[in-house]
Amino acid sequence: MPEPKEHQYFRMHASPFFWGLKAAELRHAAELLWPECERQLDAIIKRVEGKEKEGEVSMISTFHIYGALLGFSVECLFKGKIILEDQTLISNGALARKVQTHDLRKLARIAKVPLSQNEDIFCDQVQRMMETEFRYPIPKSHDMRVEGIQLGGKWPDVFEGLYDPLHPQLNLLIQSRTRSVRVPW
């Protein structure tokens, strides 16, 4: 008996390829914000150094949104790699419970992606932004607050170090129960 169309849709869109595609879309959106983030950071530094007037630093910040987009991109990369290794972890559009998380460190362990010290710090910081400042002005609990940014490398560079080796691996499109094809990026 042929597989129902909705099952075919979910199986295909659960392919590592679509996880990689979503990671690329989120990366692109973050890259569009980065010049504004740099401008905002420069304005804050000038203000702290006393080189800029008080009213010239905007209250609106895109830095947390930028960080969250990078985090969601990395999450898609990790989940895509996990599914690449074990396609039984997704069924009819539903992820298995063990991968239903935004915990980037946990997803990295499941995906067997070792994190450097800078990558570990980066994952911690962007995960907090994904869970808190990205959507709402306050977190759901006190323990989720982002109290400061710990130094650990320049975010765009650390992100690229995670993205560049993982993304090319996710070019697998599952077409049927028995057939898969590699799709060039």
Mean pLDDT by 10 residues, the chain (185 residues): 71 85 97 90 79 67 91 97 89 85 97 96 92 77 56 78 95 76 80
**What distance in Å separates the CA atoms of residue 156 and residue 22, rounded to the nearest whole number?**
18
Does an H or E element contain 181, and which?
Answer: strand 180-182
As a whole number of angstroms, the distance between CA 116 and CA 160 comes to 13
Q: What is the pTM of this model?
A: 0.85
User: By the 8 A CB rule, do 70 and 29 touch?
Assistant: no
